[in-house]
Amino acid sequence: MAAAFAPHEALAAQLIPHAAEGDDGSHDIAHILRVFKNAMRIHAKEGGNGNVLAAAVLLHDCVAVEKNSPLRAQASRLAAEKASKILDELGWNSDEIDAVAHAITTHSFSANLSPETLEAKILQDADRLDAIGMVGAARCFYIAGRMASGLYDPVDPLARERALDDKLYAIDHFEIKLFKLADGFQTVAGRELAAERHERLKTIRDMFLDEIEG
């Protein structure tokens, strides 16, 4: 598996055992690899410290907190604290550990914090790319099933006469969060990729509505 994280396969071999916990298929090693590939695409155009970025990607979800947990907004902070301990045990210097921790802490939408370094901006963009487009839609419906939510309100799927509620209906999550993500990307390369995936996401929602409305 570590070979898939080239050119950081040696680092991946060290960190993969810590990279994901729990059984959430939307935040598993496959998600981490997708985020890594996104991050490397952006890094190739934007620059930054590749080693710090790779470590931040590999450990950004090292603490599992369910979407409906009251601790959800603390997930990235908890992951940063755990990542710092892991890297300290591996002999990383304090500046690089702090850089990784900052990137992890600020990557999360729920944390609502601004990334200040280039590596943090790239991680946030790379992670959010996995929340839009085809994969983002798939993850949305996967999480809805995990949380025992319905797909949509059969009477009012577009919430014209009710409040949006993505705890009840998966399709509501598109309006509440997913459609807003493309406007918040931090890097030029990230914004370019996000624009394409945002259009895909709108197409998926439109096709979904077409089928349920007949």
Question: Would you say 192 and 127 are in contact if contact means Cβ atoms under 8 Å apart?
Answer: no
Q: What is the pTM of this model?
A: 0.93
Residue 69 has what pLDDT?
66
The two three-digit tokens of residue 12, written as one number:
């991946």
Residue 104 has what pLDDT?
97
Question: 3-class SS at 37?
Answer: helix
- Pairwise CA distance, residues 46 & 29, whole Å: 25
Residue 71 has what pLDDT?
63
The DSSP element (H or E) to which 136 belongs, if any, is helix 133-146
Between vectors from CA 8 to CA 86 and to CA 19, what angle results, nearest 5°?
A: 40
Where do the structural domains in the chain lie, given as residue ranges?
1-114, 131-214
* pLDDT tens, residue order, the chain (214 aa): 999 999 999 999 999 999 987 788 888 999 999 999 999 999 999 999 999 999 999 999 999 877 766 666 788 999 999 999 999 999 999 999 999 999 999 998 877 889 999 999 999 999 999 999 999 999 999 999 999 999 999 999 999 999 999 999 999 999 999 999 999 999 999 999 999 999 999 999 999 999 998 7
CATH number of 131-214, picked from 3.90.1150.10, 1.10.10.10, 1.10.274.10, 1.20.58.1910: 1.20.58.1910
- Pairwise CA distance, residues 34 & 39, whole Å: 9
Residue 59 has what pLDDT?
97
Burial of 156 (0-12, 13-18, 19+ CB in 10 A): exposed
What is the residue type of 15? L
Residue 70 has what pLDDT?
65
